[in-house]
Amino acid sequence: MDQKIYESYVAILRHELVPALGCTEPIAIAFASAKVREVMGCMPEHLTAYLSGNIIKNVKSVVVPNSGGERGIEIAATLGCVGGDASMDFEVLTRVTPEDIALAKKLVHEGFCTAKYAEGEDNLYIRIDAVCGEKTASVTVEHEHTHITKIEKDGVTLFCDRGGFTTGGESKEKETLNVRDILAFAEQVKVEDVRPILERQIRLNTAISEEGLKGAYGEAVGHTLMAVEGDRVEGRAAARAAAGSDARMNGCSMPVVINSGSGNQGMTITLPVCEYAKTWGKDEETLLRALALANLISVHIKRHIGNLSAFCGAVSAGCGAACGIAWMDGCTYEQICMTITNTLCNVGGMVCDGAKSSCAAKIASAVNAGTLSYRMAKEGHAFQPGEGLVGRDIEETIENIGRMGREGMHATDVEILNIMVGN
């Protein structure tokens, strides 16, 4: 395949598949807050967090890791400021101490942080303003969870860089993605070029799934599924992915490897493919190639939608996992395209109403839809062009789904936020 495309795909995997501690939206707030304290050079007296609606939606109900079980914007921002380390990016809260947690809780109670809705900004937008006497500082994060676009101190701009993204916030490298080249990459990649990235994804995501299967987190979706459907590989695949989300959405401090800025999506891609590979006795190289395919398919679908929207990211992730499974089972390019079409035309309208316990159930639904779609495709069955959002080819279908999620569901996104905040 073309060398530039090959290098772009390796770069995408390296950029997307990184460890994160906890749900990435509160972590992004904590990251920006840790950075603003670093810029100011002292502990602020007050923080004001200006946030896009999708950030607010995804932070409202999820437990912030290493917070003592606390939820919400104020604790995420305050804890990041008190004990966060911005140099650790998505793992910014790894080193917080019990003393940090106690101080953060006290400051939240005293009104240390004020959260405000930032109207008119992109779906992923965070600006943390800090004040300490006459000193001021501000850090802005946009497009991606740890992508700083502006830093100000005492009214002076120290850093400003909004380059590297398209108007919609999409990385320019991702424009090279298409299903045919992704399949070629998975089959031709030098495994050593991606082994460290994918082995880390397997190791970390499997560990948190095992923790979630103990049934002590949230509503124990994964544990329940394993008890009921664990005798079938389809059931185990869905259960393991859901279990990771059970743990992660409910405060487990174990890191995961993300995809498209989401740990839930990273786990939804990884764990079903691993379960099928183990069941079928596939060797390590086959598993790694399947995961390269699954991760890139998910990124390709999600890039048309945007990192945060009313479109549940478990759908693109479950679709990616199904493609990885289909490839391991010897499916052709045409059958993988059919798998994508079938999945997106089944659960493509699932809404995201924030990060919380029910994400685990949505993950299970997406994985089940994906495995059904792969089975249909293997038998030659696929929804046809002109039926709903099915396009003339797979790329048009993906574009149609992206348009629906990005533009068509915008009003849905606004209404979900209004309902969640009581408007």
**Could you tell me the residue ranges of all domains in the chain?**
22-160, 177-420
Asked whether the beta carbons of 151 and 157 are under 8 A apart, the reply is yes
Is residue 131 predicted with pLDDT exceeding 90? Answer: yes
Average of per-residue pLDDT across 75-89: 97
Contacts of 263 (CB under 8 A, 6+ apart): 20, 22, 23, 24, 244, 248, 256, 257
Strand partners, 394: none
Is residue 166 predicted with pLDDT exceeding 80? Answer: no
CA distance 35 to 148: 9
How confident is the model over 233-287, as pLDDT tens digits?
A: 999 999 999 999 999 999 898 999 999 999 999 999 999 999 999 999 999 999 9
Asked whether the beta carbons of 65 and 21 are under 8 A apart, the reply is yes
For a pLDDT cut of 90, what percent of the chain falls above it?
87
Token digits for 197? 């990235």
Among 3.30.1330, 3.90.1720, 3.30.70, 1.10.10, name the CATH number for the domain at 22-160.
3.30.1330
Q: Do domains 22-160 and 177-420 have the same CATH topology?
A: no
User: Long-range contact list for 166-172, CB < 8 A, 24+ apart?
Assistant: 168/122, 168/306, 168/406, 169/122, 169/123, 169/124, 169/142, 169/143, 169/144, 169/306, 169/307, 170/303, 170/306, 171/12, 171/15, 171/144, 171/303
Question: What single-letter DSSP state applies at residue 384?
Answer: P
Mean pLDDT score across all residues of the chain: 94
The single residue listed with the structure tokens 């050079």 is: 41
Confidence of residue 165 (pLDDT cuts 50, 70, 90): low
pLDDT for res 359: 96
Average of per-residue pLDDT across 360-377: 98
For domain 177-420, give the fold: 2-methylcitrate dehydratase PrpD (1.10.4100)
Average of per-residue pLDDT across 192-220: 96
pLDDT for res 170: 54
Is residue 167 predicted with pLDDT exceeding 50? Answer: no
Alpha helices in 306-347 (DSSP H): 313-328, 333-347
Other CB atoms within 10 A of residue 46 CB: 14
Confidence of residue 169 (pLDDT cuts 50, 70, 90): very low
Classify 140 as helix, strand or coil: strand
How confident is the model over 213-230, as pLDDT tens digits?
A: 998 899 999 999 999 999
